[in-house]
Amino acid sequence: MELARSIEIVHALSQGIDPLTGEALPPSSPYEQPEIIRALHTLLVHANSPARRGKLMPEQKQAANLQKGLPRNAGLAWTDEARVQLGEGFRENADIGALAARFERTRGSIIAELQRQGLINLGEARTLQVKD
């Protein structure tokens, strides 16, 4: 189910409306209880917060990256598995350009992650920025 549709359903329930029929819910409905109404409103506030609205699912971010001409995984969090593989690839002397292509990330992302892992220092990072 799409998030937008889920929000529509919760909004209708918070207003005492049956989301499927559009009819008012009976007064005995749990959705007419003050605590339930407050809970539904709280969910709606969080679902519609500015931080939540702009957040894309990883697949959406990947598609947007490709449309912009960026590597598929640009800006996405690294998985633990990918971090390990990056470290192994770097220790096997793979160059930054090859690692960027392999992990579908920018050179800057590769270099930053290598720094985070302690595999290169700031001076080496600066040198790698201009190599390849």
Q: CA nearest 97: which of 132, 73, 126?
A: 132
Confidence (pLDDT) at 99: 94
What single DSSP character describes residue 104?
A: T
With CA atoms as reference, report the closest residue to 48 among 109, 114, 4, 86: 4
CA distances from 16 to 1, 31, 95 (A): 22, 6, 61
pLDDT in tens, the chain (132 residues): 777 788 888 888 888 888 888 888 888 888 778 888 888 888 888 776 655 556 678 888 899 889 999 999 998 999 999 999 999 999 998 889 999 999 999 988 998 899 999 998 888 777 776 554
Hey, what are 62's tokens?
């990947």
Q: In angstroms, rounded to a whole number, what is the distance separating the alpha carbons of residues 80 and 102?
A: 16
Distance CA 73, CA 65 (A): 7
User: pTM of the predicted model, to two decimals?
Assistant: 0.57
The reported pLDDT for the residue numbered 4 is 76
Locate 50 and state its tokens. Answer: 């500015």
With tokens 């799409």, the residue in question is 2
